[in-house]
Amino acid sequence: MSPFAGDMTVYFYAILFTRYPQVRHLFPENMDVQRDRLLRGLLRIVDLVDDPDNLIRFCSRLGRDHRKFGALSGHYPAVGECLLASLERYAGPAWSPELAEVWTRAYGLVAAVMSYAAEQDALVAPAVWPAEVIHHVQRGHGIAEITVRPDTPYPYTAGQYAGLETPWQPRAWRYYSPAHAPRPDNTITFHVRAVPGGQVSPALVHRAKPGDRVQLGPTQGDMTLDPSSDRDLVCVAGGTGMAPIRALVEQAARNGIRRYVDVFVGARTADELYGLDDMLRMSQRHHWLSVRAAVSHERIVGLEGTLPQVLQEFGPWYQHEAFLSGPVEMVTQAANTLLRQGVPQERIHHDPFDVPALEAALLPKRGQEDTR
């Protein structure tokens, strides 16, 4: 199926919208991102077919996440019918009644788990939180700080992601981290960079203004502090990846810090060291907080180098808990640097690179739990 995977997802949505036009309104107008996410979700399910604990966990997350799209239990049979038809078309001679039965049962299980998770979540939380933009500040280099006030209290933990939908691209959800720990006034500030060609971020940065209405989906992500731990922290932030790192530092201060925190902020040039001044002011208020900067494309004494290079210079970090946020390449390189210095994989936390529900961390398989 893999050589034709892209074609299969195009065909799937084509027949879904033809046979069941009433579900078209659940999806964004531009389907490119949606088709990619469907394929990744299917591949993840296939990968987890022999790992029931993680399969159920993954499908439960998907079910809860799909509530914000307006997905209902009654939609699952239509999706299953069109998915099986698409698989049959592109599997070719490999398709058989036995394989059809396997996929039918597998989809039935996935749909049941997703539906149950969504129903249970509906008992305790809304599907979305309408909110109003109350503040919008341009910070240069295509970055804006956008503050919203949800109509009702919005629960989240510092370090998590929030799904956000705008009126300019309905049903196109993107994920942004609150740049602070929860506030008493229920307002939330996001740092958004306008991605060239993006469906959502350019409008948020260049078009949004106070009074505009947006919607928030439930938060996801496990890049949060363990309040029972006293392990020192090392945090690495690049670009708007500063948002969750700042939130974690603020939460650490609220928790009554019992540990030291080292924060590394990186950018291509000194002008792009977004959020550095704010972090330096925080370090002046808290003796346990140390902040260092690095630039990779400008010669500045004391600052020159990539974040992974500077991180290695000031190590080792094998006794620390690590939190990484920023561009994919930077996070990947920083994680590899920490691994080489002896930091266990389970103590290296980073934000999802795209969609939290599709990239959630897996639990150890039964019989493979870490006993260290």
In this predicted structure, the answer to whether residue 203 has a pLDDT above a threshold of 50 is yes
In this predicted structure, the answer to whether residue 362 has a pLDDT above a threshold of 80 is no
pLDDT at 304: 59
In three-state secondary structure terms, 136 is strand
Percent of the chain with pLDDT over 90: 49
Task: Tell me how far apart the alpha carbons of residues 70 and 76 are, in angstroms, rounded to a whole number.
Answer: 12
> Can you state the angle between helices 5-19 and 76-91, rounded to 10 degrees?
140
- Give residue 371's pLDDT band: very low, low, confident or very high (50, 70, 90): very low
| Domains, the chain | 2-122 (1.10.490.10), 129-216 (2.40.30.10), 233-359 (3.40.50.80)
Between 297 and 162, residue with greater pLDDT: 162
- Tokens (6 digits) for 176: 């942004």
Q: Which of 360, 362, 356 is nearest to 164 (CA)?
A: 356
**pTM beyond 0.85:** no
Task: Tell me how far apart the alpha carbons of residues 262 and 343 are, in angstroms, rounded to a whole number.
Answer: 15
Mean pLDDT of the chain: 86
- Tokens (6 digits) for 196: 């060239």
pLDDT at 155: 94
Between 347 and 361, residue with greater pLDDT: 347
Let me know: does 235 contact 263? Beta carbons within 8 Å: yes
pLDDT at 358: 52
pLDDT at 305: 66
Q: Which of 246, 295, 236 is nearest to 275 (CA)?
A: 246
Q: What is the DSSP letter of 123?
A: T
Let me know: does 192 contact 205? Beta carbons within 8 Å: yes
- Give residue 228's pLDDT band: very low, low, confident or very high (50, 70, 90): confident
pLDDT in tens, 96-150: 999 999 889 888 999 999 999 999 999 999 999 999 999 999 988 889 999 999 9
Q: Cα dist. 21→12, 16, 18, 87, 219 in Å?
A: 13, 7, 6, 21, 30
pLDDT at 372: 35
pLDDT at 307: 76
pLDDT at 355: 53
How many other C-beta atoms are found inside a 10 Å radius of the C-beta of residue 137?
10
pLDDT at 119: 93
In this predicted structure, the answer to whether residue 370 has a pLDDT above a threshold of 50 is no
pLDDT at 91: 87
Let me know: does 341 contact 254? Beta carbons within 8 Å: no
Identity at 11, one-letter amino acid code: Y
Identity at 40, one-letter amino acid code: R
Task: Tell me how far apart the alpha carbons of residues 90 and 286 are, in angstroms, rounded to a whole number.
Answer: 60
Top-confidence range, 95-104, 177-186, 223-232, 255-264: 177-186
In this predicted structure, the answer to whether residue 286 has a pLDDT above a threshold of 70 is yes
Phi-psi region of 332 (alpha: psi -120 to 50; beta: other; left: phi over 0): alpha
